[in-house]
Amino acid sequence: MAFVHVNDVKLYYEESGASDATPLVLMHGGSGSLDDAEAGWSALIPAFAEHYRVLALEHRGHGRTDNPAGHLSYDLLAADLRAFVDTLELGPVHFAGVSDGGITGLRLALDYPDVLTSLVCVGVNFRVDESIRQALRQAEPETAERLFPEWAADLARRHDRHRGSGYWRELMRQIVSMASRSPDFSEADLARIGTPTLFIAGETDPFANTEQMIAFKRHVPGAEWLIVNNAWHTVQHSHAALVGPRILDFLHRQCLQG
């Protein structure tokens, strides 16, 4: 358990695996934290740590990581990630992100490709459509409290203890604001991604829907994909036994090619 100062934030991360192994950086999804199994990687970290130096972080404004900027953007998150890799002198890393974490990985691949060896994106979209905006409306704090009271209580438990009572509501407003208007990548942007990339989605994911996944496969050079039947957004958690070996196979092949 450790903190590192990057840009204007004090970023919290946890490390496992051998310190001399190839680094694998993990990023949870929006509203997640390292003690949120569903939005993060806890189901797979033990398997990853058998082969890699695993660094799982809580990104800007989430969990124990602060956010002096008072807003979120994928540009900010990607710049934080670049600074994290540089500050810890990790060199090119494998990176895997869920949802907002995966979109941050796409931004990183476009803006800072030199820090990536490979990229794994779970449940990501490259542009926002009305079905995504509709799903995000349910994450607005007032709606979440009414429709999903257990989830709202869990958000308060995980985030308010670090930032004060009611902070989770502000965090969700920032997340919804960011994700309702971005990302806004073009097909030409996708074609510029030179990092070997694996896209993973659940069949019923409202964010990484069929149109989005087909575009990734069609436009990102050499992209691989895995679509899991009867699975939703956080498929890395719900179907860890299927997703984990697929990711390890992908990472292993990138190491051999490197």
> Tokens at residue 68, please?
């002096």
Q: Is 236 in contact with 41 (CB distance < 8 Å)?
A: yes
Q: What is the pLDDT of residues 99-118, one digit of tens each?
A: 999 999 999 999 999 999 99
**Is the per-residue pLDDT at 256 higher than 90?**
no
Calpha distance 195→99 (Å, rounded): 18
| CA end-to-end distance (rounded Å), the chain | 30
User: Which of 161, 159, 189 has its CA nearest to residue 175?
Assistant: 159
Give the pLDDT band of residue 208 (cuts 50, 70, 90). very high
The pLDDT of residue 45? 98
Calpha distance 43→104 (Å, rounded): 21
The pLDDT of residue 258? 59
Q: What is the pLDDT of residues 56-99, one digit of tens each?
A: 999 999 999 999 999 999 999 999 999 999 999 998 999 999 99
59: region left, alpha or beta (phi > 0 left; psi from -120 to 50 alpha): beta
The pLDDT of residue 91? 87
Residues for the chain: how many in total? 258
What top-level class would CATH report for the domain 2-128+184-257? alpha beta
Other C-beta atoms closer than 10 Å to the C-beta of 154 total 17
Question: Is there a cis peptide before residue 245, judged by omega within 30 degrees of 0?
Answer: no
Residue position matching structure tokens 């036994």? 241
The pLDDT of residue 200? 98
For the chain, give every domain's residue range.
2-128+184-257
Give the pLDDT band of residue 32 (cuts 50, 70, 90). very high
